[in-house]
Structure formats: C-alpha cells, structure tokens
Amino acid sequence: MCGIVGYVGKRPAQSILLDGLKKLEYRGYDSAGIVVCDKGQLHLEKTLGKIENLERAIKNKNWQSTLGMAHTRWATHGKPSDRNAHPHTDCKGELVIVHNGIIENYQKLKQALQKKGHQFKSETDSEVIAHLIEENYRGDLGAAVRQSLSRLEGTYGIAVIHVKHPDVLIAARKGSPVVIGLKENEHFVASDVTPLVSHTKDVIYLEDGEIAEITPSSYHISTINNEKREPAINHVEWEIAEAEKQGYDHYMLKEIFEEPDAARNAMLGRVIPEEGLAHLGGLNMNDDEMREVKRIVIVACGSALYAARAGEYMIEKYADIPVEVEYASEFRYRDPVIDQGTLVFAISQSGETADTLAAMKEAKRKGARVLGIVNVVGSTIARESDGGTYIHAGPEIGVASTKAFTGQLTILAILALQFGRLKNMPFSTGQKLVKELKTIPQKIESILEQDKAIKQLAESYAQYKNFFFLGRGANYPIALEGALKLKEVSYVHAEAYPMAELKHGPIALIDRNFPSFVIVPKDSYYEKNISNVQEIKARDGRMIAVATKGDSNISNLVDEVIYVPKTLDLLIPLLTVVPLHLFAYHLAVALKRDVDKPRNLAKSVTVE
C-alpha cells in the first residue's frame, strides 16, 4: 500500500515520476501527489482520486527540474483528501517528504512541535516527519534526517528533498520497503522495483535502519548512527513486459491465465520424477535437520493463509508432520509456543506483508528456524528469513492474488513430498505424486478453456447479493479463497464454510436468492458432500458445483456444473481454485468494478 517514486539525475523528473506512479497503481491508493525542486523553489501538486486527476492538474506545467518525488497514498490517518495527500512540506515550504508506514508516536511529537510554533496543514501522521526534520535542520540535511528518525516510533519508508540541496535525494526505511535504482548519472528511489525496471535492472534494497543519500553521480548508504554500509547490488531478472497486460482487459485475467506457468515455474528443477523426489535447495537445511522437524507452523495473511491451510492437509498426509496454520496478524499477540523441533514458514506474495514480518520476527525471537515462501526476489522476508524458496510466478500486479496462490500451493505440495520422502513415504507414492504434479499445469489449461462458459455463468448470477462457498478437507480452504476473491473484486457478500458445518446454523439462510458454490470432486469426501448437496436442494437453494469431469450424477442435483480434471485428492485444490478465480473476475466485470484496483485494498499491506 502507498507508493513512492523519486528521481535525481540529468533528465526532467516530471514524466519519470508520473510513469513510475502508474506502475505502482496496483498497490492501492486514494490520492496522489508530485513535487519537483527547481532553482530554489518547490513545485507541488496533490489531488484526490486517481493519477489521471494529478496528470490533468499538471498537464501544462512542463517542469524541467531534474529532482523530484511522487506518491500514491492509501489512507490510514485522516480521510482521503487533497490536503492529506502526500507530499508534505515543512512550515517554510523548503523541505518536503513522502512517507509509507505509520508513525505511532506522532501525536506526542506533533504536540511538542506545535508548542514550538509549527503549523500543521493535514490530519496525517506523516506530516510530523517534515516538521521534525525542519526543527533539526542546521544546514546538513542528512544529519537532520538521522536525528529526526531516531525519535520516530513505528514504521516508515521515506524520501526527502530540500530546496537548499538541489541535487540530493534522501531515502530511509524501517519496516516499509525502499529500493534504490542505480544508473550512470541518475538514480531512483521507489517502494518496490516495478517502476524501476524500465530504467535499470541494478538495485539496492535498503535494510531497516539504513539511510541513502543520493545524487546524480553517487550514493552513500549509512545507518541512523552514521555508520557506513556497503550494500549488495541486486540484478532484477524480469522484464517490464511481464508486468504489462499483454492484450488482456485486466491484469487479474492475465494472471489467472498465467496460473499454469505459475505451477510449472514452481516445480522447475525441483522435482525428480524417476526417483519420486523433490528438492528445494534454498531451505538451508540438510536431510538430517529436516528429519528432526517435529512440528510445522505456517504464518500468513489473506490468500496466502488459505494456501497454507490447503498445504496443511498435504504435509500432514504425505510427511506425517503436525501442521498449524496461524493468522500472522494474531500470532505474536498470543505468546505462541515454539519448542524444539518446530519449523516456521512465513508465506507472502510480496515478501513485505507487515503482519507476516512481525510474526516471523516473533518466531525468531523465540528461537525458531523461520523459512520464507515468497514471490518477490530480494523482499524483506526473503532477506530476513533463515532460508526458504521463491515461487517464481513473475510480477503479480492485480491486487487480488491468483497466480501467486497457485504457486504457493505448488510449493507446499513439493514441501510435502520432500519431507515425506525423508520420512516414511514409499518410493511408489513419491513417484505417483511427482507424476501427478507434472500434469497439473496442463489440467489447469483445460479448465481455462472454459473461460467463456464461466463468463456467461457469472453474468447470469450478477444479480445475487450473497453467496456461500462450501467444501471439505483441503477444498475447504479453496472455498475460503473463492469467497475472498468474490468479496475483493466484486464487493458481493460471500461466506465460506466446511460443507458439514452448513447445517449448524448457516443453512437457515438458504433459499432461491442465496446461491451456493459447492466444491464436490470425486474424492474420499464425495458421498458425504452429496448428502449436504441434497440438504441444500431440499430447501430450494441454487447451487453451482465444481466437480470432477465424468461425474454425470452431480448435474441432476445442482443448477450449474463446472468440471475439472481428475487428480490425486490432495492436489485437487490446484484445480478447483481456478474456476473460482474466473467466476469472481467475470462477476466483477459484469458489475463494472475496478477489478485490478478494488476499493479500500492494497496489493502489499505494509502496515499492521
């Protein structure tokens, strides 16, 4: 959430900054702003709403300054408005900041600064940073920033410029990502690499407590205590075309159609069919250490949590290891028990999810080995974990996660195989599992061939205001994922329940105006699921079934059927989730929602 772009170099900054903001739109925002510094003067514009509003406001400005910053805000303190939008200035209008994160002690700092005569213009916590730096400024901007940051409590990713330092851009981070882009005679700052890759592939990821002082020709990284750092330079592997729509109407649809590749890429070089083995090399654990694992705890949020819950079934079945899946946002507040033999996994698409990071740090404080499962290379979870694996799904721009979810499920299946073969899984079972895993991408492609039919189905259900999503076993988390996707992108109310729980209260809501998605593949739960379907049918409830291809019985019991290919029971979630993603997308389009940028949501949730 929130986006930062900064530039210092030889080219006019205005178009670079606006283009960068557009590439950060997927993070979610409600207002936008831009500032450039030119000949001892700040030129600043802020607008409520979309970046197009900001573009119109500065259309005829044609600023030629080569130093500037831009920001998209997702409201935390103070409602969305022009005055609460970033950037924020000091009293004199000489210094300007943009900020991602939350300053927890801003009220105390604000009161102290007001007593000293500082005049605040916004309701935000962020503005206090500008006034604090102004209060500490004595001609050395870097020193003033360091002194000010030492007084802040909370999280921040910031960028700062000052009219008296016309070729200096300062950036710093604590808990909110900041990336420095490197290029000859120009440098960039951003909240992630997406706006940078069209300019440079060489980047530095700032660590917590680090400050970067950047000019067109140089950069210096130090700590708040002014201790010099020699940062690693990372090379971004993906191309900007991977983050573009490539002819699809929305990023979400493009990324759903990339789910087969997400599964393929997650498996690439990691499974050995002839031996029925798997190997995730980045775990930084040898075979003996893996055999000693007695319990696994997985922390995650949102869709990643539901992938983890499906993975729980896989790991317990194939590896015979107890698994607990925890809301990352609750994990550290309940004093979790971490004993010897506990391995913790943190799952996050962005690798920057604040709640998941906090849970990871709590687990490490309690002595656990923590491994990350992330998509974004160089992200904070990837850097701060003891090991882990990338899902290699490529950039995911749509706010609602789809292909990353498939990648996470695939990685969890591979983990189940790797742990299982190190323990008691027979060779034949390992071979069978790998063989089926390798067929999953092609089977997902066969489901995507039903896109037009699912689109027509979604359009026919666009008038309904409520949905149930029902499943058993590993498909209950898929029901949760289906309900979440529908809520996220269409704003239609949806609830998910284990199939058998319907009769313990929720069945009171069933009628012709409250349809249910029932996930009823031909698995070990099939007969019990059919009994529950009969209960809904007896109450005149409408039903859409996700069923196994060849099941002719189900069409006699429900109103609509979407078929998926047959596979192993615990791999079925990799298939049943795909029609739910497509249905949510097409229903949202039918309702004319902003699919890629749903209201109130952000792609990377970097505040708790």
- Taking CA atoms, 339 is separated from 297, 343, 344, in Å, by 11, 9, 11
* C-alpha 370: how far from chain center: 19
Phi, psi of 228 (to 5 degrees): -65, 140
Q: Which amino acid is at 96?
A: V
Give which of 182, 160, 155, 186 is closest to 171, Cα–Cα: 160
Structure tokens at 17: 């900054």
Secondary structure element (H or E) that encloses residue 383, with its range: helix 380-384
Do 298 and 311 form a contact (C-beta atoms < 8 A)?
Answer: yes
User: SS3 of 134, please?
Assistant: helix
Quote the CA–CA distance of 54 and 72 in Å, as a whole number: 10
- Taking CA atoms, 109 is separated from 103, 117, 157, 305, in Å, by 10, 13, 18, 37
DSSP 80-92: S-TTTSSPEE-TT
Active site residues per annotation: 2, 603
**b/e 300-322 (16+ beta carbons within 10 angstroms → b):** bbbbbbbbbbbbbbbbebbbebe
**b/e 513-545 (16+ beta carbons within 10 angstroms → b):** ebbbbbbbbbbebbeebbebbeebbeeebbbbb
Which residues does 559 contact at the CB level (< 8 Å), separation at least 6?
515, 542, 543, 544
Q: Is the bond preceding 87 in cis, omega lying within 30 degrees of 0?
A: yes
**3-8 vs 342-348, strand pairing mode:** unpaired
Compute the C-alpha angle 229/232/233, nearest 5°.
125
Quote the CA–CA distance of 179 and 5 in Å, as a whole number: 10
Give which of 305, 330, 309, 299 is closest to 608, Cα–Cα: 330
Quote the CA–CA distance of 597 and 171 in Å, as a whole number: 27
- Taking CA atoms, 128 is separated from 86, 112, 159, 176, in Å, by 12, 10, 14, 17
> DSSP assignment, residue 175?
B
Describe the strand order of the beta sheet including 516-520 as a list of residue ranges. Answer: 493-498, 466-471, 516-520, 543-548, 560-564
Strand partners, 223: 210
User: SS3 of 392, please?
Assistant: coil
